[in-house]
Amino acid sequence: MITLPGEDRDLRAADEHPDRADRVRRALAAVLPEGALVTTPASVERYSHDEAEWAPYAPALAVVRPRTAEQVQAVVRVCLEHGVPLVPRGAGTGLSGGANATAASVVVSLEAMDAVLEINTVERYAVVQPGVINDDLRAAVAEQGLWYPPDPASSPWSTLGGNVATNAGGVCCVKYGVTGDYVLGLQVVTGTGELVRVGRKTAKGVAGYDLTALLVGSEGTLGVVTEITVRLRPARPPEQTVVGHFASLVSAGEAVAAVTRSGVVPSALELLDRHCLRAVDDWKHLGLEADAAAILLARVDSPGVAGDAEAETIRAAFDEGGAVWSARSEDPQEAEALFAARRLAYPALERLGPVLTEDVCVPLGAVPAMLASIEDVAARYDVHIANLAHAGDGNLHPLLITPPGDEAARARAQAAFEEIHATALALGGTVTGEHGVGLLKRGGLVAEVAPAVIAMHHAIRVALDPAGILNPGKVVAEPEQEV
């Protein structure tokens, strides 16, 4: 099981060392403007965890809301001086506990650094502060005829800083790649308190190690991101939507494999099962049919007749997989409602009880086997599992939902969670496709990679954060805490 970092440290909960806590708070207040330091317990509590309901957290010593990179740097230096860990966070929509506070830590919320600093239409890049909301950036660049593709389901709420920290995926990655594919450069405060720039603004560049790629997805353990330069694409043609209804999860999985074999790369290929559709409809009354065991939603975005041909190929692949009904959606409003249901599935299911979120990613050919195994696990462990998936990437999100307060169900869900990890690895997959390791998948990471690779993680971490203050215990546990 997971132990929370900080439990074995000198520096326990703030109350146990009131003098030290006060000294740190005073030092933070001295380097921050009015209102940027939050210490009231109720407010601190709100900033102390992300959306991973199953991940532990501990009370932070303080929350800071810096407005400039120099203020972030000053905060890191205070933490270095006082030997206090810091936990960077964006909007807190993470699903692995990566932004959860550790005991007596300083939570660094980047939400107030929310300016789009530059949109360059000639070079096609944007420079943003880490607190910019994903959808806000997308809207801002769309006004200039440009497109920022990465679109996690959390895009109305999550920040670019959080997207970078987790290397967030999304619906259109199946054709256009993930956050890391768009990050050209970063400004970062390092573990030694330096404010540096890595990466570039040019189309290409290989001057030195790819520190940008190393920092993307490092979940705040190798530096605190204070500015992000992202590559943009020209706006794309309107998408067409194809819908398929399936009598079983496995036949939907067969249809995904058929799409892949067809050679057409869709711009979205999403799966929702009946539990997801029902939960969204009970909440939002969108008039969704939940007769099918699962639906697949595909989109294509090639222009003109090429797009028509692609849509038809995908519809045929759905039929080949055993669709009970398939159609190209001619009604943009209906198509939009279906994709809205996809985005709302997670919050809709959260209303039913604490959700433990899987994020396994398997080879496309293994999607039917993985879905069959999930159904089997749900039955054997008597756990309610709803399925949604970026099916075209093989990235599945079985959501394990337990009745509030039912500890026995919780224990069964934990065992089911671990069996799903093990099956994904046996099928050649990974324990996390896009949510990150955080706290919930530390054991999964150890199961996935060799001990020598874990040792490389530790070595890099010590190299870039010699004082061990950057989000300790996340991604890889402290060596003595290895799970």
The DSSP secondary structure of 89-106, one letter per residue, reads ESSS--SSSTTPPPTT-E
Q: Which residue among 100, 105, 218, 240 contacts its own copies (CB under 8 A)? A: 218
Which is closer to its own copies, CB of 20 or CB of 231? 231
User: How many residues bind to its own copies according to rule CB under 8 A?
Assistant: 85
DSSP structure class, residue 9: S
The DSSP bridge pattern shows strands 268-273 and 294-300 to be: antiparallel
**CA-closest candidate to residue 155, choices 132, 175, 177:** 132
Q: Compute the least distance from the CB of residue 168 to its own copies, in Å.
A: 9
Which is closer to its own copies, CB of 139 or CB of 306? 306
**CA-closest candidate to residue 225, choices 470, 469, 51:** 470
Q: Which residue among 134, 158, 395, 471 contacts its own copies (CB under 8 A)? A: 395
Which is closer to its own copies, CB of 322 or CB of 365? 365
Of residues 447 through 476, those in contact with its own copies by CB under 8 A are 448-450, 452-453, 456-457, 459-460, 462-464, 475-476
Q: Compute the least distance from the CB of residue 107 to its own copies, in Å.
A: 22
Handedness of CA 340, 343, 347, 352 (dihedral sign): positive
Of residues 353 through 392, those in contact with its own copies by CB under 8 A are 361-365, 390, 392
Which is closer to its own copies, CB of 62 or CB of 211? 211
Is 228 within 8 Å of 130 (Cβ atoms)? yes
Q: Compute the least distance from the CB of residue 320 to its own copies, in Å.
A: 14
Which is closer to its own copies, CB of 162 or CB of 354? 162
Q: Which residue among 413, 445, 469, 477 contacts its own copies (CB under 8 A)? A: 445
Q: Which residue among 6, 162, 266, 429 contacts its own copies (CB under 8 A)? A: 429
- Told to check if 12 binds its own copies by CB under 8 A, we report no
Q: Which residue among 48, 109, 154, 190 contacts its own copies (CB under 8 A)? A: 190
Which residues neighbour 250 within 8 Å (Cβ) at sequence distance 6 or greater?
A: 368, 371, 372, 375
**CA-closest candidate to residue 134, choices 164, 98, 89:** 164
Of residues 223 through 252, those in contact with its own copies by CB under 8 A are 233-234
Q: Compute the least distance from the CB of residue 177 to its own copies, in Å.
A: 8
The DSSP secondary structure of 167-204, one letter per residue, reads T---STHHHH--GGGGEEEEEEE-TTS-EEEEE-SSS-
Options 60-68, 284-292, 375-383, 428-436: segment touching its own copies (CB under 8 A): 428-436
Is 89 within 8 Å of 64 (Cβ atoms)? no
Which is closer to its own copies, CB of 39 or CB of 262? 262
Is 98 within 8 Å of 220 (Cβ atoms)? yes
Which is closer to its own copies, CB of 44 or CB of 211? 211
Give the torsion through C-alpha atoms of 122, 128, 133, 137, to 10 deg: -10
Which is closer to its own copies, CB of 98 or CB of 354? 98
Of residues 129 through 188, those in contact with its own copies by CB under 8 A are 145, 166-167, 169, 173-174, 178, 180-181
Of residues 24 through 53, those in contact with its own copies by CB under 8 A are none
- How many Å apart are CA 309 and CA 327, to the nearest integer? 14
Q: Compute the least distance from the CB of residue 32 to its own copies, in Å.
A: 23
Beta bridge partners of 185: 199, 229
Greatest Cα-to-Cα distance within the chain, rounded to the nearest angstrom: 71
Options 73-81, 278-286, 347-355, 435-443: segment touching its own copies (CB under 8 A): 435-443
Of residues 77 through 136, those in contact with its own copies by CB under 8 A are 122-124
Which is closer to its own copies, CB of 59 or CB of 193? 193
Q: Compute the least distance from the CB of residue 120 to its own copies, in Å.
A: 8
DSSP structure class, residue 432: B
Which residues neighbour 453 within 8 Å (Cβ) at sequence distance 6 or greater?
A: none
Which residues neighbour 416 within 8 Å (Cβ) at sequence distance 6 or greater?
A: 377, 378, 380, 381, 383, 385, 400
460 SS3 class: helix
Q: Which residue among 27, 28, 198, 317 contacts its own copies (CB under 8 A)? A: 198
Burial of 20 (0-12, 13-18, 19+ CB in 10 A): middle
Options 50-58, 104-112, 198-206, 368-376: segment touching its own copies (CB under 8 A): 198-206
CA distances from 338 to 145, 244, 372, 399, 471 (A): 26, 12, 24, 19, 38
Of residues 249 through 308, those in contact with its own copies by CB under 8 A are 257, 260-261, 263, 265, 302-306
Which is closer to its own copies, CB of 48 or CB of 357? 357
- Told to check if 1 binds its own copies by CB under 8 A, we report no
Q: Compute the least distance from the CB of residue 261 to its own copies, in Å.
A: 6
- How many Å apart are CA 151 and CA 237, to the nearest integer? 17
Q: Compute the least distance from the CB of residue 89 to its own copies, in Å.
A: 17
Q: What angle do CA 35, 41, 47 make, to 5 degrees?
A: 70
Q: Which residue among 27, 393, 417, 470 contacts its own copies (CB under 8 A)? A: 393
Q: Which two tokens stand for residue 66?
A: 């810096």
- Told to check if 209 binds its own copies by CB under 8 A, we report yes
79 SS3 class: helix
Q: Which residue among 196, 379, 408, 411 contacts its own copies (CB under 8 A)? A: 196
